[in-house]
Structure 1
Amino acid sequence: MTTLHDRPHSALLVIDVQNGVVGGAHARDEVVATIAGLVERARGERVPVVWVQHDDEELAHGSDGWQIVPELAPADGEARVEKQFGDSFEATDLEQVLAGLGVGRLVVTGAETDACIRSTLHGALVRGYDTVLVGDAHTCGDKSQWGAPPPEQVVAHTNLYWSFSGAPGRSTGTVTSADVDLVGAPPA
Protein backbone atom coordinates (compact mmCIF):
# COMPACT_ATOMS: atom_id res chain seq x y z
CA MET A 1 0.00 0.00 0.00
CA THR A 2 2.99 2.32 0.21
CA THR A 3 3.03 5.18 -2.27
CA LEU A 4 6.66 4.36 -3.03
CA HIS A 5 6.87 2.44 -6.29
CA ASP A 6 8.91 -0.75 -6.53
CA ARG A 7 9.39 -0.90 -2.77
CA PRO A 8 7.73 -4.19 -1.73
CA HIS A 9 9.95 -4.95 1.28
CA SER A 10 9.81 -4.17 4.98
CA ALA A 11 12.62 -3.20 7.35
CA LEU A 12 12.93 -3.21 11.12
CA LEU A 13 14.08 0.26 12.21
CA VAL A 14 15.87 0.40 15.59
CA ILE A 15 16.12 4.05 16.63
CA ASP A 16 18.53 5.41 19.25
CA VAL A 17 18.77 2.39 21.55
CA GLN A 18 21.99 3.88 22.86
CA ASN A 19 23.48 3.89 26.36
CA GLY A 20 22.98 7.63 26.79
CA VAL A 21 19.40 7.55 25.51
CA VAL A 22 17.84 4.56 27.26
CA GLY A 23 19.99 4.39 30.40
CA GLY A 24 17.19 5.63 32.66
CA ALA A 25 14.26 5.00 30.35
CA HIS A 26 10.90 3.59 31.38
CA ALA A 27 10.86 -0.25 31.30
CA ARG A 28 14.32 -0.14 29.74
CA ASP A 29 15.22 -3.80 30.21
CA GLU A 30 11.88 -5.11 28.95
CA VAL A 31 11.91 -2.85 25.90
CA VAL A 32 15.52 -3.71 25.01
CA ALA A 33 14.75 -7.43 25.38
CA THR A 34 11.69 -7.04 23.15
CA ILE A 35 13.75 -5.23 20.51
CA ALA A 36 16.42 -7.94 20.73
CA GLY A 37 13.75 -10.56 20.04
CA LEU A 38 12.48 -8.58 17.06
CA VAL A 39 16.00 -8.21 15.68
CA GLU A 40 16.52 -11.97 15.85
CA ARG A 41 13.13 -12.59 14.22
CA ALA A 42 13.90 -10.10 11.46
CA ARG A 43 17.23 -11.74 10.74
CA GLY A 44 15.57 -15.16 10.66
CA GLU A 45 12.89 -13.89 8.27
CA ARG A 46 15.48 -12.06 6.12
CA VAL A 47 14.00 -8.66 6.93
CA PRO A 48 16.66 -5.94 6.91
CA VAL A 49 17.50 -4.36 10.26
CA VAL A 50 18.46 -0.69 10.07
CA TRP A 51 20.15 0.86 13.10
CA VAL A 52 19.86 4.60 13.80
CA GLN A 53 22.17 6.41 16.23
CA HIS A 54 21.80 9.97 17.44
CA ASP A 55 24.93 12.11 17.48
CA ASP A 56 25.11 15.52 19.17
CA GLU A 57 26.99 17.38 21.90
CA GLU A 58 25.50 15.14 24.62
CA LEU A 59 25.96 11.95 22.58
CA ALA A 60 29.32 12.52 20.95
CA HIS A 61 30.21 10.08 18.20
CA GLY A 62 32.25 7.22 19.64
CA SER A 63 31.50 8.04 23.29
CA ASP A 64 30.07 5.44 25.68
CA GLY A 65 26.70 7.22 25.66
CA TRP A 66 26.63 7.09 21.84
CA GLN A 67 27.15 3.32 21.70
CA ILE A 68 24.24 0.98 21.07
CA VAL A 69 23.33 -0.84 24.30
CA PRO A 70 25.38 -4.00 24.93
CA GLU A 71 22.32 -6.28 24.68
CA LEU A 72 21.97 -5.37 21.00
CA ALA A 73 24.64 -5.84 18.39
CA PRO A 74 24.32 -4.81 14.76
CA ALA A 75 25.42 -7.64 12.50
CA ASP A 76 27.98 -7.21 9.77
CA GLY A 77 26.31 -5.73 6.72
CA GLU A 78 23.34 -4.22 8.57
CA ALA A 79 22.89 -0.55 7.76
CA ARG A 80 23.78 2.07 10.36
CA VAL A 81 22.51 5.62 10.02
CA GLU A 82 23.77 8.53 12.10
CA LYS A 83 21.45 11.45 12.74
CA GLN A 84 21.50 14.80 14.46
CA PHE A 85 17.78 15.58 14.38
CA GLY A 86 14.71 13.82 15.76
CA ASP A 87 13.46 12.62 12.39
CA SER A 88 15.75 9.79 11.30
CA PHE A 89 15.33 10.90 7.67
CA GLU A 90 16.37 14.52 8.19
CA ALA A 91 19.88 15.21 6.84
CA THR A 92 20.78 11.48 6.78
CA ASP A 93 21.15 8.78 4.17
CA LEU A 94 18.24 6.73 5.55
CA GLU A 95 16.13 7.28 2.43
CA GLN A 96 18.96 6.05 0.20
CA VAL A 97 19.54 3.02 2.44
CA LEU A 98 15.86 2.07 2.32
CA ALA A 99 15.59 2.67 -1.42
CA GLY A 100 18.57 0.40 -1.99
CA LEU A 101 16.83 -2.32 0.00
CA GLY A 102 13.52 -1.84 -1.82
CA VAL A 103 11.81 -0.93 1.47
CA GLY A 104 8.44 0.81 1.47
CA ARG A 105 7.24 -0.36 4.89
CA LEU A 106 8.91 0.34 8.23
CA VAL A 107 8.47 -1.49 11.52
CA VAL A 108 9.55 1.08 14.11
CA THR A 109 11.15 0.47 17.53
CA GLY A 110 13.47 2.36 19.87
CA ALA A 111 13.66 5.64 21.76
CA GLU A 112 12.65 8.20 22.65
CA THR A 113 8.90 7.82 22.21
CA ASP A 114 8.09 11.51 22.60
CA ALA A 115 10.90 12.73 20.37
CA CYS A 116 12.76 10.64 17.80
CA ILE A 117 10.13 7.89 17.52
CA ARG A 118 7.29 10.33 16.87
CA SER A 119 9.40 12.46 14.55
CA THR A 120 10.52 9.47 12.53
CA LEU A 121 7.00 8.02 12.31
CA HIS A 122 5.72 11.28 10.87
CA GLY A 123 8.79 11.72 8.68
CA ALA A 124 8.27 8.26 7.20
CA LEU A 125 4.56 8.81 6.63
CA VAL A 126 5.00 12.10 4.77
CA ARG A 127 7.73 10.52 2.63
CA GLY A 128 5.34 7.76 1.48
CA TYR A 129 6.18 4.86 3.78
CA ASP A 130 3.74 2.51 5.47
CA THR A 131 4.67 2.61 9.14
CA VAL A 132 4.00 0.13 11.91
CA LEU A 133 4.86 1.08 15.50
CA VAL A 134 5.65 -1.85 17.79
CA GLY A 135 3.77 -0.75 20.90
CA ASP A 136 5.88 -2.63 23.44
CA ALA A 137 9.22 -1.90 21.76
CA HIS A 138 9.68 1.84 22.35
CA THR A 139 10.37 3.88 25.46
CA CYS A 140 11.29 7.28 26.86
CA GLY A 141 12.68 8.93 29.93
CA ASP A 142 10.59 10.68 32.56
CA LYS A 143 10.05 14.33 31.60
CA SER A 144 7.19 14.95 34.03
CA GLN A 145 9.19 17.59 35.91
CA TRP A 146 8.84 19.72 32.75
CA GLY A 147 5.09 19.13 32.46
CA ALA A 148 5.02 15.97 30.37
CA PRO A 149 2.88 13.01 31.39
CA PRO A 150 4.63 10.06 33.05
CA PRO A 151 6.49 7.83 30.56
CA GLU A 152 3.96 5.00 30.60
CA GLN A 153 1.28 7.51 29.54
CA VAL A 154 3.51 8.95 26.80
CA VAL A 155 4.01 5.43 25.42
CA ALA A 156 0.29 4.59 25.70
CA HIS A 157 -0.78 7.83 24.03
CA THR A 158 1.67 7.39 21.17
CA ASN A 159 0.46 3.82 20.66
CA LEU A 160 -3.14 5.06 20.61
CA TYR A 161 -2.74 7.97 18.22
CA TRP A 162 -0.49 6.06 15.80
CA SER A 163 -3.25 3.45 15.52
CA PHE A 164 -5.47 6.16 14.04
CA SER A 165 -2.94 8.03 11.92
CA GLY A 166 -2.75 7.69 8.18
CA ALA A 167 -2.53 9.35 4.80
CA PRO A 168 -3.80 8.59 1.30
CA GLY A 169 -2.22 5.43 -0.05
CA ARG A 170 -0.30 4.72 3.14
CA SER A 171 -1.00 2.57 6.17
CA THR A 172 -0.10 3.02 9.79
CA GLY A 173 -0.78 1.02 12.89
CA THR A 174 0.37 -0.07 16.30
CA VAL A 175 0.84 -3.73 17.14
CA THR A 176 2.53 -5.70 19.89
CA SER A 177 5.80 -7.50 19.28
CA ALA A 178 3.93 -10.83 19.51
CA ASP A 179 1.53 -9.76 16.73
CA VAL A 180 3.79 -7.84 14.37
CA ASP A 181 4.19 -9.25 10.88
CA LEU A 182 7.72 -8.25 9.96
CA VAL A 183 7.43 -9.30 6.32
CA GLY A 184 3.81 -8.82 5.27
CA ALA A 185 1.29 -6.11 4.76
CA PRO A 186 0.73 -3.52 7.48
CA PRO A 187 -2.38 -3.76 9.65
CA ALA A 188 -5.55 -2.40 8.07
Structure 2
Amino acid sequence: MSWKTSHRSFYYENAPEPDVPTLLPHETAMLCIDVQNYGMVQHEDPAERARWEPFHTRMRGTVIPQMKAMQERFRRNGIDVIHARIACLLDDGRDRSLSQKLPGWNNLLMPRTTEASQIIPELAPAPGEIVVTKTTDSALTGTNLRLILSNMGIRNLIVTGIYTDQCVSSTVRSLADESFFVVLLEDCCAAGTDELHQRELEIINMIYCHVMSSDELVGLMGLS
Protein backbone atom coordinates (compact mmCIF):
# COMPACT_ATOMS: atom_id res chain seq x y z
CA MET A 1 0.00 0.00 0.00
CA SER A 2 1.42 3.40 -0.98
CA TRP A 3 1.10 6.82 0.64
CA LYS A 4 -1.76 7.57 -1.74
CA THR A 5 -4.03 4.97 -0.16
CA SER A 6 -2.70 4.34 3.36
CA HIS A 7 -3.67 5.99 6.68
CA ARG A 8 -7.17 6.87 5.49
CA SER A 9 -9.75 8.15 7.97
CA PHE A 10 -13.51 7.78 7.66
CA TYR A 11 -13.66 11.13 5.88
CA TYR A 12 -11.22 10.13 3.14
CA GLU A 13 -12.00 6.43 2.89
CA ASN A 14 -13.39 6.74 -0.64
CA ALA A 15 -11.56 9.86 -1.79
CA PRO A 16 -9.59 9.74 -5.05
CA GLU A 17 -5.83 9.31 -4.88
CA PRO A 18 -4.00 12.62 -4.38
CA ASP A 19 -1.77 14.06 -7.07
CA VAL A 20 1.97 13.64 -6.73
CA PRO A 21 3.25 16.90 -5.23
CA THR A 22 6.06 18.97 -6.72
CA LEU A 23 8.60 19.58 -3.96
CA LEU A 24 11.24 21.92 -5.33
CA PRO A 25 14.41 21.87 -3.18
CA HIS A 26 14.62 25.65 -2.81
CA GLU A 27 10.99 25.77 -1.60
CA THR A 28 11.26 22.81 0.77
CA ALA A 29 12.72 22.28 4.26
CA MET A 30 12.89 19.45 6.78
CA LEU A 31 11.49 20.36 10.20
CA CYS A 32 12.70 18.31 13.19
CA ILE A 33 10.50 18.68 16.26
CA ASP A 34 11.40 18.16 19.94
CA VAL A 35 13.76 15.16 19.82
CA GLN A 36 15.39 16.32 23.03
CA ASN A 37 17.15 14.69 25.94
CA TYR A 38 14.09 14.84 28.20
CA GLY A 39 12.17 12.49 25.92
CA MET A 40 14.86 9.83 25.92
CA VAL A 41 15.30 9.46 29.70
CA GLN A 42 14.33 6.04 31.03
CA HIS A 43 11.91 6.04 33.97
CA GLU A 44 13.24 4.94 37.35
CA ASP A 45 9.97 3.28 38.31
CA PRO A 46 9.99 -0.28 36.86
CA ALA A 47 6.31 -0.19 35.90
CA GLU A 48 6.70 3.12 34.05
CA ARG A 49 9.90 1.90 32.43
CA ALA A 50 8.07 -1.15 31.09
CA ARG A 51 5.11 0.95 29.94
CA TRP A 52 7.38 3.24 27.91
CA GLU A 53 9.68 0.54 26.58
CA PRO A 54 7.88 0.23 23.17
CA PHE A 55 8.33 3.97 22.64
CA HIS A 56 12.05 3.84 23.38
CA THR A 57 12.45 0.77 21.19
CA ARG A 58 10.80 2.59 18.28
CA MET A 59 12.86 5.72 18.86
CA ARG A 60 16.19 3.90 18.99
CA GLY A 61 15.40 1.33 16.32
CA THR A 62 13.47 3.39 13.78
CA VAL A 63 12.87 7.09 14.38
CA ILE A 64 16.34 8.34 15.31
CA PRO A 65 18.18 6.36 12.58
CA GLN A 66 15.63 7.40 9.94
CA MET A 67 15.67 11.06 10.98
CA LYS A 68 19.46 11.08 10.95
CA ALA A 69 19.54 9.53 7.48
CA MET A 70 17.00 12.05 6.18
CA GLN A 71 18.89 14.98 7.71
CA GLU A 72 22.04 13.80 5.94
CA ARG A 73 20.19 13.41 2.63
CA PHE A 74 18.71 16.88 2.86
CA ARG A 75 22.06 18.43 3.70
CA ARG A 76 23.75 16.54 0.88
CA ASN A 77 21.17 17.90 -1.56
CA GLY A 78 21.44 21.47 -0.30
CA ILE A 79 17.96 21.46 1.31
CA ASP A 80 17.45 23.28 4.62
CA VAL A 81 17.10 21.37 7.89
CA ILE A 82 15.32 23.35 10.62
CA HIS A 83 15.00 22.36 14.28
CA ALA A 84 12.39 23.17 16.92
CA ARG A 85 12.63 22.42 20.62
CA ILE A 86 10.55 22.97 23.75
CA ALA A 87 12.24 25.19 26.33
CA CYS A 88 11.19 28.12 28.48
CA LEU A 89 13.05 31.42 28.43
CA LEU A 90 12.55 32.08 32.14
CA ASP A 91 13.81 29.68 34.79
CA ASP A 92 10.44 29.65 36.55
CA GLY A 93 8.57 28.92 33.31
CA ARG A 94 6.15 31.84 33.48
CA ASP A 95 6.54 32.28 29.71
CA ARG A 96 5.15 28.81 28.94
CA SER A 97 1.77 28.36 27.28
CA LEU A 98 -1.14 27.20 29.43
CA SER A 99 -0.96 23.69 28.00
CA GLN A 100 2.57 23.36 29.44
CA LYS A 101 1.58 24.69 32.85
CA LEU A 102 -1.40 22.45 33.55
CA PRO A 103 -0.82 19.52 35.93
CA GLY A 104 0.02 16.22 34.28
CA TRP A 105 2.43 14.65 31.83
CA ASN A 106 2.58 17.71 29.56
CA ASN A 107 3.66 20.00 32.40
CA LEU A 108 7.18 20.67 31.12
CA LEU A 109 9.49 23.03 33.00
CA MET A 110 12.71 23.08 31.00
CA PRO A 111 14.75 26.29 30.97
CA ARG A 112 16.60 26.64 27.67
CA THR A 113 20.07 26.12 29.19
CA THR A 114 19.26 22.81 30.92
CA GLU A 115 20.57 19.49 29.62
CA ALA A 116 17.02 18.11 29.37
CA SER A 117 16.03 20.77 26.84
CA GLN A 118 18.90 20.13 24.42
CA ILE A 119 18.42 18.24 21.15
CA ILE A 120 19.87 14.73 21.36
CA PRO A 121 23.44 14.43 20.04
CA GLU A 122 22.49 12.05 17.21
CA LEU A 123 20.21 14.70 15.66
CA ALA A 124 22.06 17.84 16.74
CA PRO A 125 21.86 20.82 14.36
CA ALA A 126 24.73 21.20 11.92
CA PRO A 127 26.64 24.50 12.08
CA GLY A 128 24.52 27.34 10.75
CA GLU A 129 21.17 25.51 10.87
CA ILE A 130 18.17 27.33 12.31
CA VAL A 131 16.91 26.32 15.76
CA VAL A 132 13.69 27.84 17.13
CA THR A 133 12.73 27.58 20.78
CA LYS A 134 9.05 27.27 21.60
CA THR A 135 6.93 27.48 24.72
CA THR A 136 3.89 26.01 22.98
CA ASP A 137 3.11 22.70 21.28
CA SER A 138 3.10 24.19 17.78
CA ALA A 139 6.47 25.21 16.38
CA LEU A 140 4.68 27.76 14.21
CA THR A 141 2.55 29.64 16.73
CA GLY A 142 5.16 29.52 19.49
CA THR A 143 8.06 31.04 17.53
CA ASN A 144 8.89 33.36 14.64
CA LEU A 145 9.11 30.33 12.34
CA ARG A 146 6.33 31.60 10.11
CA LEU A 147 8.29 34.75 9.31
CA ILE A 148 11.51 32.78 8.83
CA LEU A 149 9.88 30.40 6.34
CA SER A 150 8.29 33.29 4.46
CA ASN A 151 11.59 35.15 4.22
CA MET A 152 13.31 32.00 2.93
CA GLY A 153 10.63 31.30 0.33
CA ILE A 154 9.79 27.93 1.90
CA ARG A 155 6.39 26.57 0.86
CA ASN A 156 6.77 22.86 1.71
CA LEU A 157 7.66 21.32 5.06
CA ILE A 158 8.79 17.75 5.64
CA VAL A 159 7.85 17.20 9.28
CA THR A 160 9.51 14.76 11.69
CA GLY A 161 9.88 14.34 15.45
CA ILE A 162 7.87 13.68 18.60
CA TYR A 163 5.21 13.29 19.74
CA THR A 164 3.04 12.42 16.74
CA ASP A 165 -0.23 13.14 18.53
CA GLN A 166 0.95 16.27 20.32
CA CYS A 167 3.61 18.74 19.18
CA VAL A 168 3.98 17.15 15.74
CA SER A 169 0.23 17.18 15.10
CA SER A 170 -0.15 20.70 16.49
CA THR A 171 2.62 21.96 14.21
CA VAL A 172 1.25 20.16 11.16
CA ARG A 173 -2.20 21.66 11.69
CA SER A 174 -0.79 25.16 12.19
CA LEU A 175 1.30 24.88 9.04
CA ALA A 176 -1.70 23.69 7.04
CA ASP A 177 -3.81 26.57 8.33
CA GLU A 178 -1.12 28.95 7.07
CA SER A 179 -1.26 27.29 3.61
CA PHE A 180 2.07 25.46 3.76
CA PHE A 181 2.16 22.08 2.02
CA VAL A 182 3.09 19.45 4.60
CA VAL A 183 4.48 15.94 4.31
CA LEU A 184 4.73 13.94 7.54
CA LEU A 185 7.26 11.10 7.54
CA GLU A 186 5.61 8.30 9.49
CA ASP A 187 8.85 6.43 10.21
CA CYS A 188 10.43 9.61 11.56
CA CYS A 189 7.78 10.14 14.25
CA ALA A 190 6.59 8.42 17.41
CA ALA A 191 3.89 8.77 20.05
CA GLY A 192 3.67 7.25 23.51
CA THR A 193 2.12 4.13 21.99
CA ASP A 194 1.97 2.80 18.45
CA GLU A 195 -1.82 2.94 18.66
CA LEU A 196 -1.72 6.69 19.36
CA HIS A 197 0.83 7.16 16.57
CA GLN A 198 -1.20 5.27 13.97
CA ARG A 199 -4.47 6.89 15.00
CA GLU A 200 -3.05 10.41 14.72
CA LEU A 201 -1.59 9.66 11.29
CA GLU A 202 -5.07 8.64 10.17
CA ILE A 203 -6.67 11.76 11.66
CA ILE A 204 -4.37 14.33 10.05
CA ASN A 205 -3.60 12.59 6.75
CA MET A 206 -5.01 14.09 3.53
CA ILE A 207 -6.45 17.16 5.21
CA TYR A 208 -3.53 18.71 7.11
CA CYS A 209 -0.70 16.77 5.48
CA HIS A 210 0.24 13.77 3.38
CA VAL A 211 1.71 10.89 5.37
CA MET A 212 4.61 9.12 3.65
CA SER A 213 7.53 6.89 4.51
CA SER A 214 11.08 8.16 4.17
CA ASP A 215 11.67 5.87 1.19
CA GLU A 216 8.58 7.21 -0.58
CA LEU A 217 9.73 10.80 -0.11
CA VAL A 218 13.26 9.98 -1.28
CA GLY A 219 11.85 8.45 -4.45
CA LEU A 220 9.42 11.30 -5.03
CA MET A 221 12.09 13.99 -4.64
CA GLY A 222 14.88 12.00 -6.26
CA LEU A 223 17.20 12.55 -3.29
CA SER A 224 20.66 11.05 -3.54
Q: What TM-score range do you get, normalising by the shorter chain?
A: 0.7 to 0.9
Taking structure 1 as the reference length, the TM-score comes to: 0.81
Whole-Å separation in 2 of the counterparts to 1:94 and 1:62: 21
Q: Secondary structure at the match of 1:137?
A: strand
Q: Which moved more, 1:92-101 or 1:175-184?
A: 175-184
Looking at structure 1, the residues matched to 217 and 119 of structure 2 have their Cα atoms a distance apart, in angstroms, of: 23
Does 2:202 correspond to 1:160? yes
Query: Is residue 2:66 matched to residue 1:34?
Result: yes
Answer 1 or 2: which has greater helix percent.
Answer: 2
Q: Which residue of 1 aligns with 2:150?
A: 99
2:26·2:79 contact (CA, 8 Å) conserved in 1? no
CA contact under 8 A between 1:109 and 1:117: conserved in structure 2? yes
Is 1:73 aligned to residue 124 of structure 2? yes
Give matches, 1:92-171, under 5 Å. 92-141=143-192, 151-166=193-208
Q: Which residue number corresponds to residue 21 of structure 1?
A: 39
1:48 aligns with 2:99: no
Mapped partners of 1:182, 1:106: distance in 2: 17
Residue identity opposite 1:16 in structure 2? D
Distance 1:62 1:110 in 2: 21
Alignment length (residue pairs): 166
CA distance in 1, matches of 2:215, 2:72: 13
Greater CA drift, 175-184 or 116-125: 175-184
TM-fit CA distance, 1:177: 1.0
For the pair shown, which has the larger CA radius of gyration, 1 or 2? Answer: 2
Residue identity over aligned pairs, in percent, reads 25
User: Which of the two has greater strand per residue?
Assistant: 1
Q: Is the 8 A contact 2:155 2:181 kept in 1?
A: yes
Assess, with a 3 A threshold, how the Cα gap between structure 1 residues 182 and 100 changes in structure 2: closer, same or farther.
Answer: farther
* Residue aligned with 2:115, SS: coil
What is the DSSP-based 3-state SS (H/G/I as helix, E as strand, rest coil) of the residue aligned with 2:172?
helix
Secondary structure at 1:180 match in 2: helix
> Aligned equivalents of 1:128 and 1:14: distance in 2?
19
Gapped runs of 5+ residues in structure 2? 1-18, 20-24, 43-51, 94-108
CA 1:107–1:35 in structure 2 vs 1: closer, same or farther (change >3 Å)? same
